[in-house]
Amino acid sequence: MDLDLAPTNINNVRIKLKRLARRGSLTEPEPGLFTLPRP
């Protein structure tokens, strides 16, 4: 992603990743670590 490292941008990306984890598109094995789910 081509974003500045501003606190608001970091928080917005974190929120999007958490949302994808809730929907099942990603997994969060540890807090703050996001991976693709295994098939």
Number of domains into which the chain is organized: 1
Query: Taking the complete model, does pTM exceed 0.85, yes or no?
Result: no
User: Residue 13 and residue 6: Cα distance in Å, rounded?
Assistant: 11
Half-sphere exposure of 17 (CA within 13 A, CB side): 17
Residue 39 and residue 15: Cα distance in Å, rounded? Answer: 24
What is the pLDDT at residue 29?
96
The domain in which residue 12 lies consists of 1-39
pLDDT per position as a tens digit, 1-39: 567 788 888 899 999 999 999 999 999 999 999 999 998
